[in-house]
Each structure stands twice: as C-alpha cells, then as structure tokens.
Amino acid sequence: PMKVIPIPCLNDNFAYLLICPETNEAAVVDPSEYEPVFKEVQKRKVTLTTIFNTHHHWDHVGGNDELSRHFPGIKIHAHISDRDRVPGQTDFLEDGDFVQFGNQKGSILHNPGHTSGAITYLFGNMAFTGDTLFSGGCGRVFEGTMEQMHHSLNVKIGKLPDDTQLYFGHEYTENNLRFAQTLEPKNEDIQSQLTQIRKVRSEGKWSTPSLLSSERKINPFLRCHDQALQKHVIQKQPDTNLDPVSIFTVIRKLKDQF
C-alpha cells in the first residue's frame, strides 16, 4: 500500500509525501515550500517524480519552482483551469481523470468553491482535500458560489465511503471545533473530539488524517441537514431558509467572522 508522510510547512500547512513501496518513487501533495519537502525526500531515500497541487494558492504551490529545478522533468499536476497560475504545471486535470506515480493509481474530484480549480486527489481510501475540507471545517469560499462549495463537500466528497482517510491542507482543527461547538453545544462527538485534539496538539502532534465517518458527526459543513444544528442557526438568524445550502451559507459567513 502507498505510504503517506505529512510534512508540516510554513505556520500550519501540510504537504504530504506519497511513497510507492514497489518502485521507491515519490510524489508530493501541495509543496508549500522547498526545504522541508527536500529534506524528507532525502531522509526517505526516494525518487521524487511528481507534484500534485490541490489549488493555485501560494501556500500550496510555493515549492513548485525550486523542486522542478532540483528534480528536472518532475511532473506537476493541477486542474486544467489553473493553467497559467500553477507554477510549472505539466498535467491539466479534469473531474474524474486518473493520475499515477510509480505503481500507484489515483483519480481526482473537481471541487470548485474555495477556488474555481480546487481538486481532491483520491488514492484508494485516502483523499487529499487541500483547502476544500478540513477536520471540523472547510475552506473559505473565495471563487465559487456557496452552492458549489456545498456540492463539492456534501455530494462529491460526501459520497465517498465512511472509511475514507482525509488528508487536509491546514492544521485548523482546534479552532474549527470551537466554532462547531457554538453551533451544536450539545453535540457530544464534538466535545470529545475537541478534548482529544487538544491532547494531541499539546503533545506536538497533528490532527491529520481524519476519518470521513467522524467528520460526518462533527463537521458543521457536512451537517447542514441536521435538525439540531438547523435549530441553532435559526436562533441566530431567524430569517434563514431551512434548506441545506441556505444553512451552509449562514454558517460559512459566521465562521468567516469567528
């Protein structure tokens, strides 16, 4: 099976080194910066052949140029619409396309919302979501509509199996869960997850990856159909419609101000 090594970058970003154990080839998801990725590649004695960018933001592509200088011929994947804004892009992906490095085969989901070219990479039961889905939260909606973001999270990612491991782009989990608690003060899953995450963080460890089955219980952006959550949102914003996209829109805006 493919091996995944989280590489903390910048303040709270994660790049991920993916290793094919059969060929010793490696790929990196979202190299924010060159140095920590290069160190991990050296330490693991693997051959880096591929970059997978989830979207064009600088904190996800910042290492592209220097990596392609040090690893000539490296392939750089991103969505087709990110042509001209992902440095060094060589592969232009569309929804459902297949990707490969070494003997590891994956596919992509187009997830517009955070940006118009945001994608999730799928390898078996592992999903690399960038800034679309975080543990306990989701990215800000910069380029897409609220409806698109809701669809990306709840339909496209939401249809993946419960045992999907989510490898996300930022360590925002504790803050996300504190916000989730304001929406669902009686949700015991959120309470116990918050306690657990605080322990993990105090030990200097990270919260990535997270299980999709657990996100369905604690992540408000996957719970817009939940009646207790809806009730709370109505208390805060009495004029809100009770459809999931309207609920989503309100909680995304509340999170922007949290």
Q: Which residues are catalytic?
A: 55, 57, 59-60, 114, 131, 170
Shortest distance in whole angstroms from residue 214 CB to Fe ion: 23
Classify residue 140 by burial, with Cβ atoms within 10 Å: 0-12, 13-18, 19+: middle
Identify residues 57-86 at the interface with Zn ion (CB under 5 A): 59
Contact 194/178 with Cβ under 8 angstroms? yes
Tell me the C-alpha distance between 79 and 75, whole Å: 13
Nearer to Fe ion, 57 or 232 (CB): 57
| Contacting range for Zn ion; rule: CB under 5 A; set: 105-113, 128-136, 215-223, 246-254 | 128-136
| Contacting range for Fe ion; rule: CB under 5 A; set: 51-59, 186-194, 206-214, 218-226 | 51-59
Contact 133/166 with Cβ under 8 angstroms? yes
Tell me the C-alpha distance between 140 and 27, whole Å: 27
Nearer to Zn ion, 59 or 147 (CB): 59
Helices (H), the chain: 34-44, 58-61, 64-70, 146-151, 173-183, 188-202, 212-218, 227-236, 244-257
The yes or no reply on residue 151 touching Fe ion (CB under 5 A) is no
Look at the chain and count its residues. 258
Tell me the C-alpha distance between 156 and 95, whole Å: 10
Task: Return all residues near 214 (Cβ < 8 A) that are at least 6 apart.
Answer: 189, 193
Shortest distance in whole angstroms from residue 125 CB to Zn ion: 23
Shortest distance in whole angstroms from residue 32 CB to Zn ion: 8
Identify residues 40-59 at the interface with Zn ion (CB under 5 A): 59
Tell me the C-alpha distance between 233 and 71, whole Å: 50
| Contacting range for Zn ion; rule: CB under 5 A; set: 72-80, 158-166, 168-176, 226-234 | 168-176
Binding residues for Fe ion, rule CB under 5 A, total: 2
The yes or no reply on residue 57 touching Fe ion (CB under 5 A) is yes
Shortest distance in whole angstroms from residue 139 CB to Zn ion: 7
Nearer to Fe ion, 132 or 210 (CB): 132
The yes or no reply on residue 170 touching Fe ion (CB under 5 A) is no
Residue 215 binding partner per list Fe ion, Zn ion, none, with a CB distance cut-off of 5 to 8 Å that depends on partner kind: none
Beta-ladder partners of 7: 15
Identify residues 131-150 at the interface with Zn ion (CB under 5 A): 131
* Site residues for Fe ion per CB under 5 A: 57, 131
